């Protein structure tokens, strides 16, 4: 199975970096590719691509899912992420090769279920991505991360404190597990925000990716 989705070319005309955007449950690539115009000023050399997840969504037939979710059961999430990971990994490899880039020039961005995918795949690649940004998401199987991680890119986690889909406690759980596995993690909680991305989150994400591509992200974990 091949993943496809919308893309935006580098504003400079030459892609020297790649940002892969992984959408949430029931959505599609058109949702997250809309972040590209917000970030192009900071990332003129970056191409953006947002693959549609591999399966029609059980809960929304107009959208897609990386894996089925009937409830936020940890075992269900762990199995689902592991099953979908090879497809996303191959897609990333193909898109990098298409542009003549290596993994150091990759940024992974996820929202909700897409954050679960970005973290799982990004932390198990042979070459570390420049960074991973996760919005309104969670870490699948946090207790297994330390034994499976193969690279340690900087990570930014952003979450709303009124998220009723994935509570902000899931972000704090992820931050703790990432830190214990030796990753440099930044995090931000947006007050009054539900399961969404606000302007503060957009600004933090764009600057984080720009700093990662410029090699400026070497620091300890803490609030952004």
Q: Report pLDDT digits (tens) over 93-140.
A: 999 999 999 999 999 999 999 999 999 999 999 999 999 999 999 999
In whole angstroms, how far apart are CA 45 and each of 89, 147, 197, 206, 214?
A: 22, 35, 24, 13, 11
Q: Is 81 within a domain?
A: yes
Q: Is 162 within a domain?
A: yes
Task: Give me the pLDDT at residue 130, please.
Answer: 97
CATH code of 114's domain: 3.40.50.1820
Q: Is 93 within a domain?
A: yes
Domain total for the chain? Answer: 1
Note the pLDDT tens digit of each residue in 147-199: 999 999 999 999 999 999 999 999 999 999 999 999 999 999 999 999 999 99
Note the pLDDT tens digit of each residue in 28-75: 999 999 999 999 999 999 999 999 999 999 888 889 999 998 777 889
d(Cα 48, Cα 131) in Å, to the nearest integer? 14
Catalytic residue among 27, 28, 136, 163: 163
Q: Is 1 within a domain?
A: no
Do residues 77 and 116 touch, judged by C-beta distance below 8 A? yes
CA atoms within 13 A on the CB side of 183: 32
d(Cα 21, Cα 65) in Å, to the nearest integer? 14
d(Cα 139, Cα 118) in Å, to the nearest integer? 9
Strand ranges (E), 30-172: 46-49, 55-56, 64-65, 106-111, 131-135, 155-160
d(Cα 97, Cα 103) in Å, to the nearest integer? 10
The yes-or-no answer on residue 190 being catalytic is: no
Task: Give me the pLDDT at residue 91, please.
Answer: 98
d(Cα 87, Cα 90) in Å, to the nearest integer? 5
Cβ-Cβ contacts under 8 Å for 44 (sequence gap 6 or more): 10, 11, 12
Q: How far apart are the first and last CA of the chain?
A: 38
DSSP 3-state assignment of 189? strand
Instruction: Tell me whether strands 17-22 and 46-49 are parallel, antiparallel or unpaired.
Output: parallel
Do residues 114 and 148 touch, judged by C-beta distance below 8 A? no
Residue 189's domain comprises 7-223
Catalytic residue among 27, 112, 136, 190: 112
Q: Is 31 within a domain?
A: yes
The yes-or-no answer on residue 12 being catalytic is: no
**Which residue is associated with the tokens 């090699």?**
215
Q: Is 112 within a domain?
A: yes
pLDDT at position 80 over 60 = yes
Q: Is 2 within a domain?
A: no
Q: Is 150 within a domain?
A: yes
The yes-or-no answer on residue 112 being catalytic is: yes
pTM of the model as a whole: 0.95
């Amino acid at each position: 199975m091949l993943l496809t989705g919308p893309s935006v070319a580098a504003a400079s005309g030459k892609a020297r970096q790649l940002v892969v955007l992984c959408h949430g449950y029931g959505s599609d690539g058109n949702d997250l590719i809309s972040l590209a115009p917000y970030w192009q000023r900071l990332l003129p050399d970056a191409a953006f691509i947002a693959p549609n997840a591999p399966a029609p969504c059980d809960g929304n037939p107009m959208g897609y899912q990386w894996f089925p979710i009937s409830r936020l059961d940890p075992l269900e999430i762990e199995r689902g992420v592991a099953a979908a990971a090879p497809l996303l990994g191959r897609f990333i490899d193909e898109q990098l090769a298409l542009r003549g880039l290596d993994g150091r020039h990759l940024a992974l961005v996820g929202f909700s279920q897409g954050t679960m995918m970005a973290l799982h795949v990004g932390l198990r690649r042979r070459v570390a991505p420049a960074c991973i940004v996760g919005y309104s998401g969670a870490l699948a199987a946090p207790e297994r991360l330390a034994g499976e991680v193969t690279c340690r890119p900087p990570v930014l986690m952003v979450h709303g404190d009124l998220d009723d889909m994935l509570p902000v406690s899931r972000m704090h759980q992820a931050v703790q597990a990432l830190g214990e596995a030796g990753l440099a993690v930044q995090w931000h909680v947006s007050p009054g925000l539900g399961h969404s991305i606000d302007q503060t989150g957009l600004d933090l994400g764009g600057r984080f990716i720009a700093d990662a591509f410029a090699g400026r992200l070497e620091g300890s974990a803490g609030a952004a």
